Amino acid sequence: MDRTPLPDLDALDREALLDLIRQQASLTAAYDEEIRRLEAELDAQRQALSEQAEELDTRREHIEHLRLMVEKFRHIIT
């Protein structure tokens, strides 16, 4: 979002000051909403990574089990 310098506040009349306050409040609300959106996206990405890590662990365990079975069958055959 754009960061324009503030005008000389002493030179502004009451309405201009109120407008400036409203603009700043609107920007703050927009920043807050963007932060909430990004935090939710980050949480979703963390959850997805956690699920993928669990799946990877499960597959590793399955591969190790299959290797042990192959080794057992080789032993039986020979």
Establish if 3 belongs to a structural domain: no
Establish if 6 belongs to a structural domain: no
Q: Quote the number of domains for the chain.
A: 1
Establish if 39 belongs to a structural domain: yes
Establish if 5 belongs to a structural domain: no
The boundaries of the domain holding residue 19 are: 14-77
Establish if 22 belongs to a structural domain: yes
Model pTM score: 0.62
* Contact indicator for 9, 17 with CB cutoff of 8 Å: yes
Backbone angles phi, psi at 5, to 5 degrees: -65, 150
Residue pLDDT tens, the chain, 78 long = 567 788 888 888 999 999 999 999 999 999 999 999 999 999 999 999 999 999 999 999 999 999 999 999 999 998
Instruction: Please give the Cα distance from 33 to 72 (Å, whole number).
Output: 59
Instruction: Please give the Cα distance from 72 to 65 (Å, whole number).
Output: 11
